[in-house]
């Protein structure tokens, strides 16, 4: 593109966002289709919530000390003076929807999935965007650790269908309100001793919420955090039991895992189980999906005491390592000569489309040679030839582009041939 024709900068997509163009979008569609199919096999149902919510929902849900809320939210005041936020994650929206519609009273299994854009004002880099897309699943009302293992197994079932290899499953428990305060105190003490080595942000976290130091991406902080006590040594009996049941169920489901006692994940609401599936094919941003249990969120929102567990998978990240087999679409190109044949071509295209054949008819007048050149360029599978003779006889030519074989026939006969090939 010459300088003059290049779009002016103000017309370019916003930093950290991108267009998903034909050629690439087919992979997205395949992923979305496979995700739906997989989740529905586990009796999940789609729940679609709005893209923006009251800011308060994320402050309360995602957590006021998380990086997502303190640094990364797209928050704005609307014309009515309300503070709204483009959702940075999906879980609080689902919890709100359940409460608002009292889905907990319906008696149906509360298993939901969703796919769509999320927004975080993070530093854009490979694998990290400001508008990115997640596949999200949540289960409510199941306390048993078996369900945590079941959703990890479901994640693997989907990743397998997407041709993702080289994954590792990391699991941990972050305890509960009974045991975490003692761990928090131990962390605060450990961080206090090495305060000078921590970044200013982590020095602040050492006071406000020392668990969040594990989220820091600064190398020095990561090294210091590696020496901190392990939460596994602080779990209460209930959390220890829950974790043991998680591991036992993963064994039953034959999912290999590694316990990572530093896996606290960046959101404040987790209780007991946390997990991530990471890819060995990726660098720094290697988490394909992450999730865990959040038993207190609905109660904290002032709703019923219904526990929850779930995960969010990053679509961009998964697609960067997926090997999805895609079949080229078979297209019938309609080649016509003259105005009358153009009308007949349109009617024929309507007939074939109604019978499930993808057809392309373009409306620039072309000679037959130009039509074939165009069909070749577009890699059409067949060309339908509509000229005056053909219209008079009600029989049309059909040429298979791969073999060069051409036959004549009435439209029903041609349809039968197309269906056979």
Least distance from ligand AMP to the Cβ atom of residue 294, Å: 12
Least distance from ligand AMP to the Cβ atom of residue 122, Å: 5
Which residues of the chain form contacts with ligand AMP (CB under 6 A)?
A: 89, 120, 122, 128-129, 132, 134, 265-266, 287-290, 312, 314, 316-317
Least distance from ligand AMP to the Cβ atom of residue 347, Å: 47
Residue 96 or 120: the one with the smaller Cβ distance to ligand AMP is 120
List CB contacts of 338: < 8 A, sequence separation 6 or more: 387, 388
Residue 265 or 293: the one with the smaller Cβ distance to ligand AMP is 265
For the sheet containing 52-54, what is the strand order?
52-54, 83-86, 74-77
Residue 130 or 399: the one with the smaller Cβ distance to ligand AMP is 130
Residue 268 or 390: the one with the smaller Cβ distance to ligand AMP is 268
Least distance from ligand AMP to the Cβ atom of residue 136, Å: 8
Least distance from ligand AMP to the Cβ atom of residue 298, Å: 18
Least distance from ligand AMP to the Cβ atom of residue 15, Å: 12
State whether the Cα torsion 83-86-91-93 is positive or negative: positive
Least distance from ligand AMP to the Cβ atom of residue 399, Å: 46
Least distance from ligand AMP to the Cβ atom of residue 221, Å: 18
Measured distance CA(388)–CA(2) in Å, rounded: 44
Q: For ligand AMP, which residue has the nearest CB?
A: 314
> Contact 82/130 with Cβ under 8 angstroms?
no
Measured distance CA(292)–CA(151) in Å, rounded: 10
State whether the Cα torsion 114-118-123-124 is positive or negative: positive
Residue 38 or 62: the one with the smaller Cβ distance to ligand AMP is 62
Residue 58 or 129: the one with the smaller Cβ distance to ligand AMP is 129
Least distance from ligand AMP to the Cβ atom of residue 276, Å: 7
Least distance from ligand AMP to the Cβ atom of residue 119, Å: 9
List CB contacts of 398: < 8 A, sequence separation 6 or more: 382, 383, 384, 385, 406, 407, 408, 409, 414, 417, 418
Residue 38 or 91: the one with the smaller Cβ distance to ligand AMP is 91
Residue 94 or 384: the one with the smaller Cβ distance to ligand AMP is 94
Residue 69 or 312: the one with the smaller Cβ distance to ligand AMP is 312
Least distance from ligand AMP to the Cβ atom of residue 116, Å: 12
Residue 87 or 180: the one with the smaller Cβ distance to ligand AMP is 87
Residue 122 or 413: the one with the smaller Cβ distance to ligand AMP is 122
């Amino acid at each position: 593109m010459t300088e003059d024709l290049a779009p002016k900068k103000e017309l370019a997509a916003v930093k950290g966002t991108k267009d998903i163009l034909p050629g690439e979008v087919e992979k997205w569609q395949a992923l979305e289709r496979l995700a739906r199919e997989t989740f529905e096999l586990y009796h999940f149902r789609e729940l679609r919530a709005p893209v923006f919510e009251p800011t308060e929902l994320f402050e309360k849900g995602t957590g006021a000390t998380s990086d997502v809320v303190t640094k990364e939210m797209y928050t704005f005041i609307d014309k009515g003076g309300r503070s709204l936020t483009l959702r940075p994650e999906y879980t609080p929206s689902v919890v709100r929807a359940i409460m608002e519609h009292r889905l907990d009273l319906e008696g149906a299994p509360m298993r939901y999935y969703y796919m769509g854009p999320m927004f975080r004002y993070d530093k854009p880099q490979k694998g990290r965007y400001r508008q990115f897309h997640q596949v999200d699943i949540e289960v409510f009302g199941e306390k048993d650790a078996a369900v945590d293992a079941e959703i990890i197994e479901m994640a693997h079932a989907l990743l397998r269908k997407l041709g993702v290899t080289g994954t590792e499953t990391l699991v941990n428990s972050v305890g509960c309100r009974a045991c975490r305060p003692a761990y928090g105190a131990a962390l605060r003490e450990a961080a206090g001793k090495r305060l000078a080595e921590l970044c200013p942000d982590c020095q602040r976290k050492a006071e406000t919420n020392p668990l969040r130091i594990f989220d820091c991406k600064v190398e020095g902080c990561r090294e210091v955090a590696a020496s901190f006590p392990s939460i596994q040594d602080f779990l209460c009996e209930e959390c220890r039991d829950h974790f043991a049941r998680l591991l036992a169920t993963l064994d039953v489901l034959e999912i290999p895992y590694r316990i990572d006692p530093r896996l606290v994940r960046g959101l404040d609401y987790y209780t007991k189980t946390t997990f991530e599936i990471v890819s060995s094919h990726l660098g720094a941003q290697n988490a394909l999906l992450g999730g865990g249990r959040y038993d207190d969120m609905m109660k904290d929102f002032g709703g019923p005491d219904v526990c929850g567990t779930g995960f969010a998978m990053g679509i961009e990240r998964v697609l960067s390592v997926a090997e999805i087999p895609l079949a080229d679409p078979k297209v019938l190109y309609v080649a016509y000569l003259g105005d009358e044949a153009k009308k007949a071509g349109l009617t024929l295209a309507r007939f074939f489309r109604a019978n499930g054949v993808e057809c392309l008819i373009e409306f620039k007048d072309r000679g037959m040679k130009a039509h074939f050149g165009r069909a070749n360029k577009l890699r059409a599978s067949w060309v339908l030839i509509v000229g005056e003779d053909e219209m008079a006889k009600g029989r049309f030519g059909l040429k298979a582009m791969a073999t060069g074989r051409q036959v004549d026939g009435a439209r029903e006969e041609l349809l039968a041939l197309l269906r056979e090939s």
